[in-house]
Structure 1
Amino acid sequence: MSDVQTAPAREGFPTARPDGFPASIMLSFLATAGLFYVNIMAAIVDGLVSGLGLSDSAAGDIGAANIYGAAFGALIAVFFVKNVPWRPLAVICLLGLIAIDLGSIFITSAEVLILVRLAHGITGGLLVGVSYAVIARSGKVDRTFGVLLFVQFGLGGLGVMVLPRLVPIYGTAPLFLALALFSAAALAMLPFLDRYPPKKKLAIKHGGVAWTPLLMTLAAIFIFQAANMGLLAYIIRLGIDYGLERNYVSTALGLATWVALAGPGVVIVVGKKYGRFPVLFAGMGLTLAGTAMFHLSAHPAAYMLANCGTGITWGAVMAYLLAMASQFDGAGRTAAAAGFVSKLGLASGPFAAGKLLAAGYGFSGLINAALIGLALSTIVTLLPARRLDREKTDG
């Protein structure tokens, strides 16, 4: 069967087959547009410090405000995704993101940027929540979330490799222009997506929500995202603090992000063939090992390996966690809830990391804090994964 429908399905547009691979790619761009700044957060934080002269703590606060706004927007989506037409809402969100990103180029005040990026986050979070709900209605949830992480890591790697080199020359303009261009690309793809109405039935057995594994899955998402993002937001600053050259740091981070495509690639190819528990068990173990290796960042090879290892496992683990959360509701509300919790974790990480650095714990203390969070996340990840494997449900 072709991935493009043989007859126009809507308003004269040939739409991609709802569960086809092209649809997975376009849905991934749509979901990524609302949160692409997270994938280049290290470049943004570094750009705010080196381009505008802000402190590490102030730059972290701006990044945190952006993601806290996204968490609030994703929370709003939980209550709207079942009944509100998703396509017009996505158009409004994308146009809003483009306008806010272009306006951010001309702002130099940290206080004003916090408010503006908070508004950006709310808009983007609403878009992500809606996108996750639509993905939950597609026929290939695990694969689509794998493609989503593949897109984020691939283009994020390009961003962190290129953008830090442009900031000393052009200031923060390249950062916000990159975000606006990505939203424009997602907007161009939107007409070719199918309708994706809510499903009539739940995606789990026995007809009701199993609250314990759902809440554990959401907790795992929050802790995992907070621990990883708290470190990633300052990963460029960390490398420089350990004595590495700026050009090496940005190149290493970009290359590592591309290597990390292997993580979501595993999800795309393997899916649930072997169950989620074995993959998550191995992924969390490698995440802990890679994070601990950041203590050796004074050695360029160790810094590169640590970024590669944690990047690979981040993509794989998050794809599985988001797919797990989507199984609890046919309309996509639990998937939208996962988007909210994910953004809350992504925001809390840089915020807490900035405070740790301001308190004088240094980057070594930041690494240790991330390790503690990841160890806790491992525990609350594996229990619901084992239960869902036993259920053998198809999300």
Structure 2
Amino acid sequence: MSGPRRPAYKIAPDGLPAAVFLAFLATAGLFYVNIMAAIVDGLVSGLGFTDAQAGQVAAVNTYGAAIGAVLSIFTIARLPWRRTAIVCLVALIGIDLLSIWITGAAAMIALRSIHGLVGGLLVGTGMGVIGRTANPDRSFGMLLFVQFGLGGLGVLLLPRLVPLFGVAPLFLSLALFSLVTTVMLPFLPDYPPRPTPVSKPDDATGTVVWTPLILAVSALFLFQAANMALLAYIFRLGVVSGLSRNEASGALGLATWVALAGPLLVMILGRRYGRFGLLFVGMLLTLGGNALFHWSGYGVIYLLANCATGITWGLVVPYLFGMTAEFDSAGRTAAAASVISKLGLASGPLIASFILGSGAGFNVLINSALAAMALAMVLMLPPALALDRRARRNEKEEKVPL
């Protein structure tokens, strides 16, 4: 007996269009992260904020998102996710439009913290829905693909518009993204919780499930914090190192599109070859690429560094999120991982603002980020190996004839 038929206007729950729409849903509340370099530069060059003030705006926006994502852990299993998403999207559009008229640092910090709270609730909801799909790794890969593709367009164009129109293009682009996402919502299916948990009954003790989960989310926090500490100031780094505004924005835009190779690899390879090997190679490239930022005064090296770190960022994060999604059938661990991710994304710019505000300079910032990434590598590889081994064991059990 077949289940209820899907309305004709609804797209298939696990097809490519659904992955794209879900990527927009899980991105809308946090898209400012993908154009953070343009926003920080816009606040400095367009409104006269100091580097420290601009970094604090970025930090509170993302800390608010972490709090909102915490709320989503409870709402995702209790409230209709579509209704929650609509309310959040309408609120985000209003806040972004209001942000155009704010000129003071204190008022901007207060308003963007509210934006972060609403956006975090939306993103956590979207991540929880992705956790209910048949292949979360692929959906998370599409999430990064959309973020990098549109983020590249943003960092290419927006810094060039700030001297002409001020910060208005920055916040209008965010409002437009939310509007497009709102139009997509009716076409998504319902995505109820999966009927059976992923973990087996003998995993209930927590030894196999919780230990890899804790290590994975710790690695996620450090990896996101280290990357965001540099990304928030990456445009400023290029300009301070001697590149022109057009050279820096052009390199960032091109590198962000090149970085699409990272999530594309995730969607193509999936878990076919396991996670351990890809994460190991990806983290080695991450460390090497970030070290190149010490020579950002050379345009080619600045471009290569951004390309390398962008590709590996888009490769590593989907696998880390996919790992966390395996531990719960309702999508709560995916929502919880989004909280940790946002705490990392918020802590990076805040710590960077302190480093630069103290006069330590960009070299100290780069070295601090490298240390955090090295520790993240140490933490993420054991759970990846454990989950790969469990997958191989399950495959062998399935091949045993009854």
1:118 and 1:8 map into 2 onto residues whose CA distance is 42
User: Normalising by structure 2, what TM-score?
Assistant: 0.94
Matched, 1:277 2:272: no
Partner in structure 2 of residue 189 of structure 1:
184
Question: What amino acid is aligned across from residue 34 of structure 1 in structure 2?
Answer: G
Partner in structure 1 of residue 232 of structure 2:
233
Question: What amino acid is aligned across from residue 134 of structure 2 in structure 1?
Answer: G
1:30 and 1:78 map into 2 onto residues whose CA distance is 16
When the two structures are aligned, how many residues end up with a matched partner?
386
Matched, 1:40 2:35: yes
Instruction: Please list the CA deviations of residues 290-317 of structure 1 after superposition, one character each: whole Å capped at 9, or x if unmatched.
Output: 0000001111100000000000000000
Matched, 1:317 2:316: yes
1:34 and 1:159 map into 2 onto residues whose CA distance is 16
1:204 and 1:28 map into 2 onto residues whose CA distance is 25
Task: Map 1:165-314 to 2 at 5 A.
Answer: 165-206=160-201, 208=204, 209=206, 210-314=209-313
1:391 and 1:76 map into 2 onto residues whose CA distance is 32
Instruction: Please list the CA deviations of residues 356-383 of structure 1 after superposition, one character each: whole Å capped at 9, or x if unmatched.
Output: 0011110111100000000000000101
Partner in structure 2 of residue 365 of structure 1:
364
2:198 and 2:315 map into 1 onto residues whose CA distance is 22
Question: What amino acid is aligned across from residue 50 of structure 2 in structure 1?
Answer: S
Question: What amino acid is aligned across from residue 188 of structure 2 in structure 1?
Answer: L
Partner SS state of residue 19, structure 2: helix
Task: Map 1:1-395 to 2 at 5 A.
Answer: 9-10=6-7, 14-206=9-201, 208=204, 209=206, 210-392=209-391
Q: Unpaired runs of 5+ in structure 1?
A: 1-6
Instruction: Please list the CA deviations of residues 308-356 of structure 1 after superposition, one character each: whole Å capped at 9, or x if unmatched.
Output: 0000000000010011111110000000000000000000000000000
Instruction: Please list the CA deviations of residues 196-249 of structure 1 after superposition, one character each: whole Å capped at 9, or x if unmatched.
Output: 001122222335352111111110110000000000000011011111111100
Percent of matched pairs sharing the same residue: 58
Q: CA RMSD in A?
A: 1.2
2:93 and 2:303 map into 1 onto residues whose CA distance is 33
Cα displacement (A) at 1:164: 0.2
Cα displacement (A) at 1:51: 0.3
1:162 and 1:194 map into 2 onto residues whose CA distance is 34
Cα displacement (A) at 1:8: 6.9
Partner in structure 1 of residue 397 of structure 2:
none
2:76 and 2:389 map into 1 onto residues whose CA distance is 29
Cα displacement (A) at 1:9: 2.8
2:221 and 2:252 map into 1 onto residues whose CA distance is 24
* 8 Å contact from structure 1 (residues 69, 118) kept in 2: yes
Return 155-164 or 14-23, whichever deviates more: 14-23
Question: What amino acid is aligned across from residue 37 of structure 1 in structure 2?
Answer: Y
Partner SS state of residue 137, structure 1: coil
Cα displacement (A) at 1:82: 1.1
Partner SS state of residue 197, structure 1: coil
Return 358-367 or 343-352, whichever deviates more: 358-367
1:21 and 1:244 map into 2 onto residues whose CA distance is 39
Question: What amino acid is aligned across from residue 16 of structure 1 in structure 2?
Answer: I
Partner SS state of residue 54, structure 1: coil
* 8 Å contact from structure 1 (residues 8, 15) kept in 2: no
Partner SS state of residue 366, structure 2: helix
2:197 and 2:110 map into 1 onto residues whose CA distance is 39
* 8 Å contact from structure 1 (residues 205, 391) kept in 2: no
Q: Unpaired runs of 5+ in structure 2?
A: 395-402
Question: What amino acid is aligned across from residue 9 of structure 1 in structure 2?
Answer: R
Partner SS state of residue 131, structure 2: helix
* 8 Å contact from structure 1 (residues 157, 255) kept in 2: yes
Question: What amino acid is aligned across from residue 251 of structure 2 in structure 1?
Answer: A
Question: What amino acid is aligned across from residue 381 of structure 2 in structure 1?
Answer: L
1:368 and 1:241 map into 2 onto residues whose CA distance is 17
* 8 Å contact from structure 1 (residues 8, 14) kept in 2: no
2:160 and 2:372 map into 1 onto residues whose CA distance is 32
2:247 and 2:323 map into 1 onto residues whose CA distance is 37
Question: What amino acid is aligned across from residue 259 of structure 2 in structure 1?
Answer: A
1:202 and 1:191 map into 2 onto residues whose CA distance is 28
2:274 and 2:43 map into 1 onto residues whose CA distance is 42
Question: What amino acid is aligned across from residue 171 of structure 1 in structure 2?
Answer: G
Q: Which runs of 4+ in 1 moved over 4 A?
A: none
